[in-house]
Homo-oligomer: A and B are copies of this chain.
Amino acid sequence: MNAPLQYPTEVASDCATTRETVLARYQNVRNQTEALCQPLEPEDYCIQTMPDVSPTKWHIAHVSWFFETFLLIPFLPGYSVFNERFDYLFNSYYLTHGTPFSRPQRGLLSRPTVAEIYRYRAHVDEAMRQAIMNLDESQWEAFANRTVLGLNHEQQHQELLLTDIKHVFAFNPLRPVYHEAKPTTVPTHSAAQQWVDYPGGIHWLGNTGEAFCFDNETPRHRVFLNDFALASRLVTNGEFLEFMTAGGYQNPEYWLSEGWSTVQEQGWQAPLYWEQLEGRWWSMTLSGMRPVDEHEPVCHVSLYEADAYAHWAGKRLPSEAEWELAAIQQAIKGNFRESGQLHPRAINTEQTPAQLYGDVWEWTQTAYSPYPGFRALAGSLGEYNGKFMSSQMILRGGSCITPQSHIRPSYRNFFYPGDRWQFSGIRLADDR
């Protein structure tokens, strides 16, 4: 039996506990959220193009509501709620806290205006500053830990804000540009795919929970794996086009039953955001419409498409345990939001397997379920992760719009197998 591998120590740095460090981190994350909104007009903040998408202004209000509800009201004596009605409007899904406003109708509210929501943010920021600096020492640790949770929560909404505004802009026939991507100096080519072998046996999976992590990453526990191999890089657009050309979207034999039904009902012919214009494929990006680059990783595919591609290729998707075993052996580097591209890019490293972190979330074949011995957080925050453990699938590794500091090897993202509007892609695996 293999010895449990240690998690890289930089993960622990997450858990800063001096008041100055927490305040700095708080301000940093909050500023990043607002920076992401810089390119937007007031009208852009209001739109919800499908039930899963939230308007930008809802995101930036909701993350403030989170601090108000779970930090300021319980911890800060005399805190004055900004607006009593916001608890109804900006609660997402904490049913034991209260009944939230209907999710698919978030885009039907013009008020509060964007300006008012920024005043709300400022009100919360000022109160958080006071709480961080002045809270009684007896409460500090609990408060600091929960603040770190709130900041990780806000980082998740930073990513959602970008996936959602991309959906909003892609829906619009005018195809607006969110930002002009930084020119990249990366050579655009795709290395030949190779296989990296891993030995099976008993391995440890999950996080110890000492540094910050979400409850669903714990407890650390043992799993038995067979020998396996991972592809040395992500599946590229060029490879996915081969699948398309081979009739991938027309042939039920490659597909899960639900996947094939979805292909038929939705009329899928290509990844989300792809359009064929005058004989060639284009796709919508946060920098507007661009020709599909065959060297870049394929993105905006569902689990169904990932699984069908793997089936067609005679391979399979990795399990989350296999992925984590590989990832834990690498430093957390890659094409994250900090690169300023906000788009996956062709491989530019000799490391294998490459692209484990960043670029696109990698679908696994593992359904999202509780780790053995899982205990959700106490109180309403227990609804954060645990209640979603049905019908969803695990994705791993972060994407080009994930903040680098947000990711760990043990990080479990989860979406429905038919979801495509996240930056999700494909890495192949195989038995050995």
Residues of A within 8 A of B (CB): 41-49, 57, 85, 88-89, 93, 95-96, 101, 105, 107-114, 168, 171-174, 176, 202, 221-226, 252-253, 255-260, 303-304, 307, 316, 365-367, 369-370, 372-373, 382-383, 387-391, 393, 417, 431
Contact = CB atoms under 8 A, between A and B. Distances in A.
A46 B171 CA distance: 15
9 contacts: A42-B113, A47-B109, A93-B257, A107-B107, A109-B174, A256-B389, A304-B390, A365-B370, A373-B431
Given A85-B173, A390-B258, A224 B222 contact: yes
Contact of A391 (B95, B168, B174, B391): B391
A106 to B, nearest CB: 11
Given A96-B253, A110-B43, A224 B224 contact: yes
Contacts of A431: 372-373
Contacts of A253: 95-96, 382-383
A251 B351 CA distance: 50
Tell which of A176, A202, A303, A387 has the most Cβ of chain B within 10 Å: A387
B252 A224 contact: no
A70 to B, nearest CB: 16
Contact of A172 (B44, B109, B367, B390): B109
A367 B393 CA distance: 10
Given A224-B222, A366-B369, A43 B259 contact: no
Given A45-B43, A173-B89, A226-B221, A95 B252 contact: yes
A252 B96 contact: yes
Contacts of A225: 372
A225 B222 CA distance: 8
